[in-house]
Amino acid sequence: MGKAIGKHIWAAIAAVLAMSAGGASAQSPGAAVAPPPLVTAHVQTGDEALAQDAGEYARLYAVPIDEAMRRLRAQEETVATTDRLQDLYGDRLAGLYIEHRPAYRIVVLLTGSDPVPDQTVFAGGMTVPIVFRTGAPASRTRILGAITQHQAEIRAAVPHPPSMGVDPRTGQLVLMVDGADIDRIGQDALKARIEAIAKVPVRIRVQDRPEVNLEDVNLVGGGGRVEGMNPADGKRYACTSGFVVTDGARDGVVTAAHCPDTLAYYGPDRSQLPLQFLGQWGWGYQDVQLHVSEQALQPLFYADTRKTMARTVTGARNRTSTRVGDVVCHRGERTGYSCAEVELVDFAPSGDLCGGACLATWVAVAGPNCKGGDSGAPVFNGTTAFGLVKGASYRGDGSCIFYFYMSTDYLPAGWSLLESQVSSPVAPVLGEPVAR
């Protein structure tokens, strides 16, 4: 890229603002932050972004880097295929997910016993098997209906209201329960109790601690840092902001709704870009706050821990097109850059984190990299935006079990991601059915 972008990302991007990783807490104020050294950032090409994420994939699954790159290309290029499969099998569909071991493949779990021949799809320069499994105990539609109809009863049946979601690998309602409640009730007794309420098969997963918002440090606005004052206590806080958005006339930056309302971006030299608070939405299925800028912004976000690499947004992945097993990355002020597997795409966090009970519209991603301060951070793969980090679940030792994010599907009405214009990817080629 040209030197003008690489040399002064603050001037060229405006929304991508660099500050040191340390800082104030969004729940507890911190000491003043010393001015960080001037940093430069290189705007990556699509291939460079893919190579960076492939490095993480190769580390996670112990495969060569060229294999990791093929698999990540296949991950993106098979979305249309899996969307078609979800539509095709409708009421029989219990789940659809990606497996990485022993080989990369797509698995479709169906109710009923009627067999479906396996298939293949050519994507990412490789042949991806599509394996069909039957005999699931309940469909996704049925389990989602049980959550919608019986969530209040399920929450009332456990001392600490649990999180829950659809497990596409088993065709069960997965209930994530505080360990103290298991000690009090008993796992088998609780399973039977919830199954009697929900009328679907239930799997109990024991959690050490309930979910919390990741709000004690930073906010990335294109992967940078912002600060603001809480009028309730007169103290300054910082957060992580996510992506640049537009309504066609104005540009703005989104982050988590539980961050301060009055925010300013700080450049590498401590220069400020004031932002005007427009609104926040934090009920049920949203946790998003919007700030508009008087300056035109660019569709960029930081994508590495040190903020030396930035990426353009070229598209977004819908929540309904996201598969369990997809590998996504996030860049938070507290934890930096990391990638991990999607665990659930129909997830309702525990407690009252959504101004009451949360709907089953959140996406959970495996740990171990999440900490307080990552709220609002961008979730992405390559140059595709997925969502904004909301909260996480921790073990008793403080390590991260998983984090969860709001899909960019749920940005405020009238606002959408600001994207760079690129050509559409080549559609994958569906192969013939293969013998099992």
| Mean pLDDT on 361-387 | 93
Main-chain dihedrals φ then ψ at residue 74, nearest 5 degrees: -65, -35
Q: Write the pLDDT tens digit of every residue in 163-202.
A: 999 999 999 999 999 989 999 999 999 999 999 999 999 9
Q: Which helix (H) or strand (E) holds 416?
A: strand 416-417
Could you give the C-alpha distances from 361 to 65, 156, 354, 418, in angstroms and in order?
Answer: 33, 20, 11, 23
Q: Write the pLDDT tens digit of every residue in 256-305.
A: 887 777 776 665 455 677 778 999 999 999 999 998 888 788 899 989 98
The Cα 436–Cα 422 span in angstroms is 39
User: Higher pLDDT residue, 367 or 235?
Assistant: 367
Q: What pLDDT band is residue 211 in, cutting at 50, 70 and 90?
A: low
Query: What are the chain's domains?
Result: 1-11+22-30+39-59+157-422 (2.40.10.120), 60-138 (3.30.300.50)
Written in H, E and C, the secondary structure of 384-400 is EEEEEEEEEEECCCCCE
The Cα 52–Cα 56 span in angstroms is 7
Q: What pLDDT sits at residue 12?
A: 38
**CA-based nearest residue to 379, from 318, 331, 309:** 331
